[in-house]
Amino acid sequence: MSIKGFDERLARERRARLQAERLLAQRSEELYSANKKLAEHAHALSHTVIAQREENAALIGRSTRTQAALEVATEKAVIAERRLWDALSAVEDGFAIFDRDWRLVVANPAWMGAFDGVVDVAPGASYEAILRIAVEEGLIDLQGEDADDWVDRMIARWEGASIAQTDIRLFNGIYVRLIDKRTPQGDMVSLSLDITDTIRREGELERARDRAEAATRAKSAFLANMSHEIRTPMNGVVAMAGLMREMNLTEDQRLYAETIQNSGEALLAIINDILDYSKIDAGKMILHEESFDLRHLIDEIFRLMRPGLEGKDLRLILDYDMFLPARLIGDPGRVRQILTNLIGNAVKFTESGHVTVRAVGVPDPKQPALLPVRIVVEDTGIGIAPEMQSHIFGEFNQVEAQATRRFDGTGLGLAITRQLVALMGGEIWLESRLGVGSSFGLSLVFGCDPAGLVETAPAIALAAPPKRMLHVLAAEDNKTNQLVFRAMLKSIDLHLELVENGALCLESYHRARPDLILTDISMPEMDGLALARAVRAHEGEFYLPRLPIIAMTAHAMESDRTRILAAGIDECLTKPLDKTQLLAAIGRYAPPEGAMVAGLRVASG
């Protein structure tokens, strides 16, 4: 090989070596950078692994704690359930749970015990099956109810939205109260409580209350009898004092007689109150319904009140609904008593102004046979303080304290009024302002008297009362006297009812009140005096207006006259009778409308 060839070869190899060295350096650089990246990645990865490991360790710790807590909770739940069940097992009351299909889920021993070990009563049994078992095994005292009806009733009870508690009696006399509640999930929780003791105590209380009420009634009845017995001699005292005042007396004697009469009358008023109150309390007050004229009745009360107006600047006003029928059906005696008390109080507690009575009919088209009536007694008197208003309808209550009392009264008036109104099925209320006045309202329901459905035309009606036949009831035992009597009244157009003694006369009087009674004094069975006393007592008791009684007697002595008048007789005619005197006496006492028909001279004034 030439040198030139050799150099060229060397240069070629050098170039190749240089190129290889450059390539190596480049590869080394690449390898280094890859290595560096790998190292960085490994570093990052090791960080992640460490974090993950730490997290895992934390999780493992937490899970261990949770596991421990779960164990504790489970243990507690088991204890709680056991305690609850122990408690439910220990109680004497029955407890059971039914599912939404009304099948027994669980029941405590007390509940199960009621079924006395019947095997079919067990979890899974249906409510209806259990009810039927209870009936068939004779566990329930059905107290006359049909078994199927009872089961149906008990099922229907559970079907309702809210289940009312119910009491049942078991065969052994034990009373059980069933209380059932539906849970939001639809289960039924059923409690059965033994209420035998409660029922027994209630029974004892009821019997004690009945005994107490019977005792009160007996006391009231005794009080009623006593008052009645006291009233009869008191009537005598008052009547005799009245007669005495008409005698020729010195001024002192007249004063004494007046005092006896006034005190007697005051005492009679009190006795009447006590009598009424105890009668109502004893349940002995009976209403006597009849047709009556309410307007006329109020007019009469106004007339009675006149003496109370003396010395006062007080007007009595009646505002009577012109569409209110003239005649109503009710107990006029008791209506009179109620209104006399309210109007009497209004007059008593009012010095000036007015006492107005308003009566309005409030017909109900659905009940045309009944007529609700509203009566208001309004005054411009002293009024009643608000705090006293609820008390005054109570017994023995008066607004003023005993020491400062200015007004008389038993404090029973409004209590009786309230009771009478209640007895009539009505209501009473009060509105009052101290120093301004009071207004007592009444709502009562009366019957409509078809005969009196005419509207009242007040002014004309008062001026010209409707004519009607006079009804005279006479008692005379002697046949000849009867003949004479009939003959004397023959020419007169009246309805004469002649009976043979006082007892028959009293019977007729009760059957249909006449306009006038004429009576002999000495008669068998009941004499004229006893008859008059009985009539007056009845009037007093039922607040009836005084019926004129004329005696016909051969006893002409002054002392007899006194005795006769003291018995409540208005006038005494001496036998043998004189026709003119007889007719004049009838004319004097007969109501004008009847006297006119009879052709008698009407008494003036």
Could you list the residues that contact ligand ADP (CB under 6 A)?
A: 341, 345-346, 349, 379, 381-382, 384, 392, 397-400, 407, 409-415, 438
- Smallest distance from ligand ADP to CB 358, Å: 15
- Smallest distance from ligand ADP to CB 320, Å: 20
Choice between 85 and 429, CB closer to ligand ADP: 429
Contact between 447 and 289 under an 8 Å Cβ cutoff? The reply is yes
Using CB positions, name the residue nearest to ligand ADP.
Answer: 409
d(CA 66, CA 60) in angstroms, rounded, equals 10
Choice between 192 and 438, CB closer to ligand ADP: 438
Q: Measure Cα distances from 104 to 92, 124, 128, 189 in Å.
A: 19, 5, 10, 10
Choice between 176 and 377, CB closer to ligand ADP: 377
Choice between 78 and 385, CB closer to ligand ADP: 385
Contact between 565 and 459 under an 8 Å Cβ cutoff? The reply is no
**b/e map 414-435, b = 16+ CB within 10 Å:** bbbbbbbbeebebebebebeee
Choice between 435 and 605, CB closer to ligand ADP: 435
d(CA 123, CA 106) in angstroms, rounded, equals 6
Choice between 413 and 568, CB closer to ligand ADP: 413
| Helical H segments across 382-446, by residue range | 386-389, 413-423
Q: Tell me whether strands 188-194 and 94-98 are parallel, antiparallel or unpaired.
A: antiparallel
- Smallest distance from ligand ADP to CB 431, Å: 11
Q: Tell me whether strands 571-574 and 549-553 are parallel, antiparallel or unpaired.
A: parallel
Cis peptide before 576 (omega within 30 of 0): yes
Q: Which helix (H) or strand (E) holds 373?
A: strand 370-379
d(CA 296, CA 403) in angstroms, rounded, equals 40
Choice between 361 and 383, CB closer to ligand ADP: 383
Choice between 413 and 502, CB closer to ligand ADP: 413
Choice between 55 and 400, CB closer to ligand ADP: 400
- Smallest distance from ligand ADP to CB 395, Å: 9
3-class state of residue 567 by DSSP = coil
- Smallest distance from ligand ADP to CB 342, Å: 7
- Smallest distance from ligand ADP to CB 519, Å: 35
CA 67, 69, 70: angle at the middle one, nearest 5?
65
- Smallest distance from ligand ADP to CB 260, Å: 22
Contact between 360 and 350 under an 8 Å Cβ cutoff? The reply is no
- Smallest distance from ligand ADP to CB 203, Å: 38
- Rg over alpha carbons for the chain, rounded to the nearest Å, is 52
- Smallest distance from ligand ADP to CB 439, Å: 9
